[in-house]
Structure 1
């Protein structure tokens, strides 16, 4: 348990007190009718963000890219992808945000680039300093290997048995260079060689260039994968992603990030959040803070992968008790030595209402409940576009409806390996955890294509847009949107919800997630019923109820808490000292 801090003792930084809104540009708003969201479209909606009350925008990649992985395959870090606009459009957006005191966080992808990036083109031609910008290796004689590999010369296989995150081998053979290159993601996303100091210098120079443009920080894509074990040995194929132990939280990752902090990120007014798949609390403590690598916070994945079996496509039933245990572990683990990011969905995760709530009868109630959770835990809340409306997972009736390269690879492999006879056999998995669920267009109104575009959208809109949309939500005081606005305002007004100590109540309760927040004399009690039926809740002895008053709830409830009470389906209550 961490020591309770006074208001004056709390280490105040803007990004701890902020609420961050994540924008997936391709699906947010299309200003020119080509079916693809763009920067001008975002600029047109800046007042919407201001009205909601957010403090910062995390902008997913808008750099020049062939869009194999929807922009996470960058071909030019200093240019804007033509479908999104140009640098003038980007500057207009930055200015519009800053005029409203909204900061801009750019997505940084430096574990890999596109194979169309000039660095890779020069590297495959072995041109000067670029020869070793990527991870190139000769193949292994075929008779020495006991693993399948990608296409290459007939007498050799890939250098090792590592697997790609997107399925299949993590190596591709390049005819021009006559060697294999590593790609932990798609074949068109070759990994940079971070052991090469010239690579690191080029990355830092690029980052400093973006900071000189006036941005307020970076979200760092899979940043804990940049270091690989020397010698690139074979990985353990018994469980998980083969080879992961040799590139997740690799041997030099902390050295690289400390160097990055020294060269680029030493200003603690910058928000720097590292995406760190596979990181545990102990790892996170090393990544964040002045005594670690200097990052503001990390995105961890335990709470969104705990229901996965062998891989994400085996996701299924989950337990609230385990969910509480994981979130509490992170709350307590970083209470004194770091800071948490708080999220339940993003561009890589399914919609949280469909995952952790009820996207049918209790969609509104459960969306409000989940929002209450993310805005009352200690840490910085991240809202993913459409979350504030209670947007849900979509339907993908055929593979022609699917756009995500990861999902398409899964379908192909499942059929090739005999695990599925057709797409129908894996459709449920695609619709439960597929990334396209988060990438359907933002639902602005009930007109054709949800008001997202006048053209043909790059991916179909969710069919429920006629009832779930911004226009309807803003006109309904009882909507999820207005509730989110109130949550943001509540957090802004009560330091206890930002800096207060977290204590979990009733850890073994299978239905209710309850906890207290404490900051000096300020106190809070949060009670959340995760069930679609009413439940009885008894406040544990020792929790002081005197002086607490209702601050927000998603149902009509008493203004002061009682020692025991009934919670309705997906009911959320927050009591605070005035």
Structure 2
């Protein structure tokens, strides 16, 4: 590891996103303002004072557009309309205005890889003939062994698999009901992929960008940003379709606890098959799209941004998405996937900072989102570096107290790193995954397309608890008896926001204190220098950012605090008046240290 200070950004005058803390709102599950059991934009507006008090700088809203909700709104039927489930455009405008009045920036999701099958374009394509302009907006192909011009081949055009399980191709019927062409859907059958070789698709998406920029949004989170462009000829590929291709090779097998090996022993790593690069992810053509979009955003000044959801490795490949003329940020999934392990986390931090610095971009740090098992649960498993695709009642259940302790410590690490941080709704409450959600309650298409082999993402999308003594833990309006759209576990009651507000030692108050500390010392605009006295192979992660020394103990024995330092903030339940007397950092705890 380098002991050189690594700059957070090469920008001469950092823009707001360079060190912003962004809070992700999954609208279905954040707050229900009209009492129907489904979260909505009115609920978001009502809870903006909570976010302002929490101390975040911006909010990112997952899709709220008109949609049949086959994939939680990521199947968009109309990019310019709010789905009635969530309210109206007037509700969005009111929310945006209120957020801006509180100094909060607003980022919205953009889903450019695919639409809903109910989108007007796809409906027109179904009515149109093979080879028509309507079908050319999507990726329609004749089947293998078809008679030229008929599209009647009985085999799919290639062997690609859907990210959600099963084949990536579905067949449509001709006007007379006979089998016709096939269309590509890298995700659910109800999410047909757009054809980004068609200029009309480019123009439409630029128009969508301008529609929301005209309304005043501050940026876009771009879904599947490494997708969209497919290799010419759509060749067969024997790899396993996944949003995290190759990253499973980072996982330690169960029982190989982090830090347990000696210097003479290398930790075992699971070996994944080696495949050629995917023909549908991280193609060169995506960068031309983002250069074009960069110019669109520049029409609105210098303060609009894009952040890429790009599951790309290594870090040098990801850095290409944030070159000066492309996007402004990309999610750092290497950090998320590192798990509770000092060596892995240090390696991810080093690689991420170096790659981002090479293109003059700020890093991002994220521990959970709407697609991953919540980190308090992951960190409470017997192997806290694993990355399960959902958990069910018959899976290993986490040690909730251990997982929460580690999650709180990891949060102090992420918020002390230079760059921007993203928080997933409810992590400030220490919410765990709903790991015992019954099968009959599940709604994730992944669960159904894999026949339950992948549990899916419902467990991290459960509606938030706001008040312990109200129905649905206060998710819906006070007088509503509506059941939340996903059932909440009993463990949510004691973690409700009203139980933690003002309660010393609570996770909510820890987040407030950490965010205030970060802001007051401008850690997001700082730099990182590894500490010489502690080594990750001993289970301790230690680095300096300005005058602050961060110590995270991921090992098996207490770590002494260096002479001349005092504890300013601890992730463990140490009363404020006793911080100065702390001499050692307990296991599964992190501290911010300042010179005496």
- When structure 1 is superposed on structure 2, of 339-348 and 329-338 the one drifting more is 329-338
Q: Is 1:509 matched up with 2:537?
A: yes
Name the counterpart of 1:420: none
Name the counterpart of 1:395: 435
Offset of residue 534 of structure 1: 4.1
- When structure 1 is superposed on structure 2, of 88-97 and 502-511 the one drifting more is 502-511
Query: Please, which of 321, 333, 347 is the counterpart of residue 301 of structure 1?
Result: 333
Structure with bigger RCO (C-alpha 8 Å, 6+ apart): 2
Separation in structure 2 between the aligned mates of residue 123 and residue 30 of structure 1, nearest angstrom = 36
Query: Please, which of 78, 102, 105 is the counterpart of residue 103 of structure 1?
Result: 105
- Classify 1:44/1:9 alpha carbon distance in 2 versus 1 (closer, same or farther; 3 Å): closer
Q: Is 1:487 matched up with 2:514?
A: yes
Q: Cα deviations across residues 330-377 of structure 1 (Å, max 9, x unaligned)?
A: 123223422211111000011111112575234553332121022011
Offset of residue 19 of structure 1: 0.9
Separation in structure 1 between the aligned mates of residue 56 and residue 527 of structure 2, nearest angstrom = 21
Separation in structure 2 between the aligned mates of residue 294 and residue 6 of structure 1, nearest angstrom = 18
Asked if 2 retains the 8 angstrom alpha-carbon contact of 1:161 and 1:235, the reply is: yes
Q: How does 1:70-81 map to 2 (within 5 A)?
A: 70-81=72-83
Name the counterpart of 2:207: 205
- When structure 1 is superposed on structure 2, of 5-14 and 108-117 the one drifting more is 5-14
Name the counterpart of 1:528: 552
Query: Please, which of 353, 356, 359 is the counterpart of residue 334 of structure 1?
Result: 356
Separation in structure 1 between the aligned mates of residue 277 and residue 78 of structure 2, nearest angstrom = 28
Q: Cα deviations across residues 56-76 of structure 1 (Å, max 9, x unaligned)?
A: 010010000000000000000
Offset of residue 567 of structure 1: 2.1
- Classify 1:75/1:46 alpha carbon distance in 2 versus 1 (closer, same or farther; 3 Å): same
Offset of residue 576 of structure 1: 3.8
Offset of residue 16 of structure 1: 1.5
Offset of residue 538 of structure 1: 7.6
TM-score by length of 2: 0.82
Asked if 2 retains the 8 angstrom alpha-carbon contact of 1:224 and 1:248, the reply is: yes
Q: Cα deviations across residues 288-324 of structure 1 (Å, max 9, x unaligned)?
A: 131xx421111143344468xxxxxxxxxx7442233
Q: How does 1:346-495 map to 2 (within 5 A)?
A: 346-357=369-380, 360-362=400-402, 364-396=404-436, 398-412=438-452, 414=453, 430=455, 434-446=456-468, 447-453=470-476, 454=480, 455-495=482-522
- Classify 1:5/1:528 alpha carbon distance in 2 versus 1 (closer, same or farther; 3 Å): closer
- Classify 1:398/1:554 alpha carbon distance in 2 versus 1 (closer, same or farther; 3 Å): closer
TM-score by length of 1: 0.84
Asked if 2 retains the 8 angstrom alpha-carbon contact of 1:376 and 1:498, the reply is: no
Q: Cα deviations across residues 225-246 of structure 1 (Å, max 9, x unaligned)?
A: 0111011011134796799610
Name the counterpart of 2:250: none
Separation in structure 2 between the aligned mates of residue 64 and residue 238 of structure 1, nearest angstrom = 31
Separation in structure 2 between the aligned mates of residue 199 and residue 8 of structure 1, nearest angstrom = 34
Name the counterpart of 1:325: 347
Separation in structure 2 between the aligned mates of residue 238 and residue 395 of structure 1, nearest angstrom = 26
SS in 2 for 1:66: coil
- Classify 1:238/1:500 alpha carbon distance in 2 versus 1 (closer, same or farther; 3 Å): closer
Asked if 2 retains the 8 angstrom alpha-carbon contact of 1:278 and 1:300, the reply is: no
Asked if 2 retains the 8 angstrom alpha-carbon contact of 1:217 and 1:272, the reply is: yes
The alignment's C-alpha RMSD in Å is 2.9
Query: Please, which of 559, 570, 582 is the counterpart of residue 553 of structure 1?
Result: 570
- Classify 1:202/1:320 alpha carbon distance in 2 versus 1 (closer, same or farther; 3 Å): same
Query: Please, which of 366, 387, 410 is the counterpart of residue 343 of structure 1?
Result: 366
Name the counterpart of 2:93: 91
Offset of residue 5 of structure 1: 6.2
Q: How does 1:188-227 map to 2 (within 5 A)?
A: 188-227=190-229
SS in 1 for 2:451: helix
Offset of residue 490 of structure 1: 1.2
Query: Please, which of 316, 320, 334 is the counterpart of residue 286 of structure 1?
Result: 320
Name the counterpart of 2:259: none
Offset of residue 402 of structure 1: 1.7
- Classify 1:264/1:133 alpha carbon distance in 2 versus 1 (closer, same or farther; 3 Å): farther
Separation in structure 2 between the aligned mates of residue 333 and residue 153 of structure 1, nearest angstrom = 46
Structure 1: 5+ residue stretches without partners = 144-151, 308-317, 415-428, 540-544
- Classify 1:359/1:367 alpha carbon distance in 2 versus 1 (closer, same or farther; 3 Å): farther
Name the counterpart of 1:424: none
Separation in structure 1 between the aligned mates of residue 123 and residue 539 of structure 2, nearest angstrom = 55
SS in 1 for 2:495: coil
Name the counterpart of 1:136: 140
Separation in structure 2 between the aligned mates of residue 500 and residue 324 of structure 1, nearest angstrom = 15
Q: Cα deviations across residues 527-555 of structure 1 (Å, max 9, x unaligned)?
A: 11235x5423586xxxxx75x55332134
Offset of residue 114 of structure 1: 0.2
Q: Cα deviations across residues 124-157 of structure 1 (Å, max 9, x unaligned)?
A: 33386433111111111299xxxxxxxx998521
Asked if 2 retains the 8 angstrom alpha-carbon contact of 1:125 and 1:131, the reply is: no
Q: Is 1:277 matched up with 2:305?
A: no
Separation in structure 2 between the aligned mates of residue 63 and residue 222 of structure 1, nearest angstrom = 17
Q: Is 1:498 matched up with 2:525?
A: yes
Asked if 2 retains the 8 angstrom alpha-carbon contact of 1:219 and 1:275, the reply is: yes
SS in 2 for 1:335: helix
